[in-house]
C-alpha cells in the first residue's frame, strides 16, 4: 500500500486488515488517514471468488451433515475463501485515496 499523502509504502498486515474493516487506514509514517478506493470491478471479483468457494462447501456440508446445513456451508465457504482474497486484492490492487483530516482549519 502506498500513502497518497507522503508516498510511504507499507504492507497490509493481517492486523491492519482486521482493524480497518471499512478500508480506512492511517499511514504509519505521516499519520494521515486514507481509504481504499471502491470500484465496481472489485465487488464483482469478490462476489465471484466467494461463489467459487461457497458452492463446493455448501455441497460438502449438505452431503456430510444433511438437511439445512447447505446454507451454513455456503456462508463458511464464502468467508474461508473470500477473506484471504479480499486482503490480497486490498494490498496489491486497490490504491489508497486521500481523506482530508478534520484538524486542518
Instruction: For the chain, 105 residues long, give each residue's pLDDT as a single digit of tens.
Output: 899 999 999 999 999 999 988 888 989 999 889 998 878 888 888 888 888 888 888 888 888 887 777 778 788 888 888 889 889 888 888 888 888 755 554
Whole-structure pTM over 0.75, yes or no? no
56: CB partners within 8 A, 6+ apart:
77
The predicted structure's pLDDT at residue 77: 83
- Please give the torsion angle defined by the CA atoms of residues 79, 84, 85 and 91, in that order, rounded to the nearest 10 degrees: 140
Per the domain annotation, does 3 fall within a domain?
no
Per the domain annotation, does 34 fall within a domain?
yes
The predicted structure's pLDDT at residue 103: 55
Per the domain annotation, does 25 fall within a domain?
yes
Per the domain annotation, does 79 fall within a domain?
yes
CA distance 77 to 68: 15
CA distance 38 to 40: 7
Per the domain annotation, does 27 fall within a domain?
yes
The range of the structural domain enclosing residue 80 comes to 14-98
The predicted structure's pLDDT at residue 105: 44
Per the domain annotation, does 9 fall within a domain?
no
Per the domain annotation, does 67 fall within a domain?
yes
10: CB partners within 8 A, 6+ apart:
1, 3, 27, 28, 29
Question: How many structural domains comprise the chain?
Answer: 1
Sheet bearing 24-26, strands edge to edge: 24-26, 33-36, 96-98
Per the domain annotation, does 91 fall within a domain?
yes
Amino acid at each position: 500500500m502506498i500513502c497518497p499523502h507522503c508516498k510511504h509504502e507499507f504492507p497490509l498486515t493481517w492486523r491492519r486488515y482486521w482493524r480497518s474493516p471499512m478500508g480506512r487506514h492511517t499511514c504509519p509514517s505521516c499519520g494521515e488517514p486514507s481509504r481504499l478506493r471502491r470500484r465496481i470491478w472489485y465487488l464483482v471479483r469478490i462476489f465471484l471468488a466467494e461463489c467459487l468457494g461457497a458452492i463446493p462447501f455448501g455441497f460438502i456440508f449438505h452431503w456430510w451433515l444433511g438437511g439445512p446445513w447447505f446454507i451454513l456451508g455456503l456462508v463458511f465457504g464464502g468467508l474461508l475463501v473470500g477473506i484471504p482474497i479480499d486482503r490480497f486484492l486490498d494490498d496489491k490492487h486497490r490504491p489508497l485515496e486521500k481523506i482530508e483530516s478534520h484538524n486542518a482549519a
